[in-house]
Amino acid sequence: MLILSARDDSAEPRLGVTASRKVGNAVVRARAKRLVREAFRATRELFAPGIDVVVIVKRSTEESKLDTVIAEWRAAKPQIDRKTKALLTLAPTATGTRS
């Protein structure tokens, strides 16, 4: 699961990864997190500045390869762009200054 959130600043996109015990033991969870972090580094251009990305690992990634995860993220680019556009258009009005 991929969750996007807008920030007030326009710094580089940030990544957060979580994997519960349902995914597997500590070794499996650590591998899943490494895989997600590396995929994020390889596809950083998918995410606009000022966006936080949270990935919740839902299933074991024992058979998954980096190329597979990157391909999934690239295939989700239209959804990522649509969500990013919605977040960035709402962010200035939601965090406006008080009069």
CATH number, residue 25: 3.30.230.10
**Does residue 99 lie in a domain region?**
no
pLDDT attached to residue 8 = 83
Range of the domain at 42: 2-94
| Integer Cα distance of 56 and 3 in angstroms | 8
**Does residue 72 lie in a domain region?**
yes
**Does residue 23 lie in a domain region?**
yes
pLDDT along the chain (99 residues), means of 10: 87 93 92 94 92 90 86 94 87 47
Query: Alpha carbon of 78 to those of 3, 19, 51: distances in Å?
Result: 14, 25, 16
**Does residue 25 lie in a domain region?**
yes
Strands 14-19 and 51-57: parallel
**Does residue 10 lie in a domain region?**
yes
pLDDT attached to residue 97 = 42
For the chain, what is the domain count?
1
In this prediction the pTM is: 0.81
Closest residue by Cα to residue 34 from 4, 11, 57: 57
